[in-house]
Amino acid sequence: MATEGTGSRGASKEGGWMPIMAHIGELRKRVIVVLIVFVLGVVGGLFCAKPIFDYLVENTPAGRIELHAFSPWDAIGLYMKLAFIVSFVVAIPFTIFQLWSFVKPALGEKEQRATLRYVPGALFMFLAGLAFAYYIVFPMAYGFTEGLTHKMGIDSMYGVNQYFSFMFNIVFPLGVLFELPVVILFLTRIGILNPIVLKKIRRVAWFLMILVGVVITPPDVISDLLVALPLVALYEISVFLSNMAFKQRQAKLRAMELEDEEDYRGAART
């Protein structure tokens, strides 16, 4: 992202458009690079799909399962699904890096350091959400559906695509939800959110968290609480972190105002 657009305020109208077009051109190049990396990730993911499939089947927390193909396209569909997941995991860090490289020139040194601090936290929370969903929530949901199937006297026979779709629909949304504290903290730091708003919408947020817990888990109180309570706790942690960040931001703004006021008084005296 070029910084030349910040200068030459007295430039002509035609000259004023050049930096904007340069930024758009640079953004276009970075998007193309990200797409190329994504495509290469899909190709590489096709080679990784079989080992990933074997690992997920042999080490599933849901217990021993037997999967079947109900369509000639099931194996191809699963291969592509796993390849896209591998590509997604590979492309996300690269996409973040490209986005960071694009906006970096517009940030000061302090802003650059502050922004980089969120990357490890975001990665950690995403992995924590995946682990929580895969090892706790998914076995509960699978166990409930399996138990209900046997209770009704139905022989279970799971299609490979249906099984993995069931797994991914639980695991990845929770992985994203675990990013909530990091996202809220970042938005508070840059002044978009504040704890006052978060406290006002607390009831709505709690309701949505509990609703997520009820929807993706078996319909029993214990399972619902095991998912809903951590999600509610995540929101409350987000409010707490937002409150801390908001106070720090307000203190910095007051300090800057006092400094500007002192500079103004000093200039007036001279």
The pLDDT value given to residue 263: 62
Q: Is 2 inside any structural domain?
A: no
The pLDDT value given to residue 39: 92
The pLDDT value given to residue 32: 92
pLDDT string in tens for the chain (270-residue length) = 444 444 444 444 444 444 777 778 888 888 899 899 999 999 999 998 889 888 888 877 766 778 888 888 888 888 898 999 889 888 887 887 787 777 777 766 776 777 777 778 888 888 898 898 888 888 888 888 888 888 888 887 888 888 888 888 888 888 888 888 888 888 887 777 888 888 888 899 899 888 887 877 666 666 677 778 888 888 898 899 888 888 887 887 777 777 766 666 666 666
Q: Is 43 inside any structural domain?
A: yes
Question: Helix (H) and strand (E) counts for the chain?
Answer: 10, 2
Same-domain status, 98 and 186: no
Same-domain status, 138 and 195: yes
Same-domain status, 71 and 53: yes
Give me the domain span that covers residue 260.
121-270
Per the structure, the count of domains in the chain is: 2
Same-domain status, 100 and 46: yes
Same-domain status, 135 and 185: yes
Q: What is the DSSP letter of 1?
A: -
Taking each helix axis from N to C end, the angle separating 221-269 and 138-151, rounded to the nearest 10 degrees, works out to 160
Q: How far is it, in rounded angstroms, from Cα 17 to Cα 85?
A: 40
Q: How far is it, in rounded angstroms, from Cα 82 to Cα 77?
A: 9
The pLDDT value given to residue 99: 78
Same-domain status, 166 and 106: no
The pLDDT value given to residue 5: 42
Q: Is 60 inside any structural domain?
A: yes
| Boundary residue ending a domain (112, 147, 173) | 112
The pLDDT value given to residue 10: 40
Q: Give the angle subtended at the CA of 37 by the CAs of 31 and 41, to the nearest 5°.
A: 140
The pLDDT value given to residue 188: 81
Q: Is the pTM of this model over 0.75?
A: no
Q: Is 1 inside any structural domain?
A: no
Same-domain status, 262 and 170: yes
Same-domain status, 167 and 126: yes
Q: Is 214 inside any structural domain?
A: yes
Q: Is 13 inside any structural domain?
A: yes
The pLDDT value given to residue 266: 63
End-to-end CA distance of the chain: 40
Gyration radius (Cα) of the chain, Å: 25
Within 13 Å and on the Cβ side, how many CA atoms surround 41? Answer: 20
Same-domain status, 193 and 260: yes
| Boundary residue ending a domain (67, 83, 112) | 112
Q: Is 218 inside any structural domain?
A: yes
| Boundary residue ending a domain (82, 112, 142) | 112
Q: State the sign of the Cα–Cα–Cα–Cα dihedral 81, 87, 93, 96.
A: negative
Same-domain status, 40 and 158: no
Same-domain status, 15 and 103: yes
The pLDDT value given to residue 36: 93
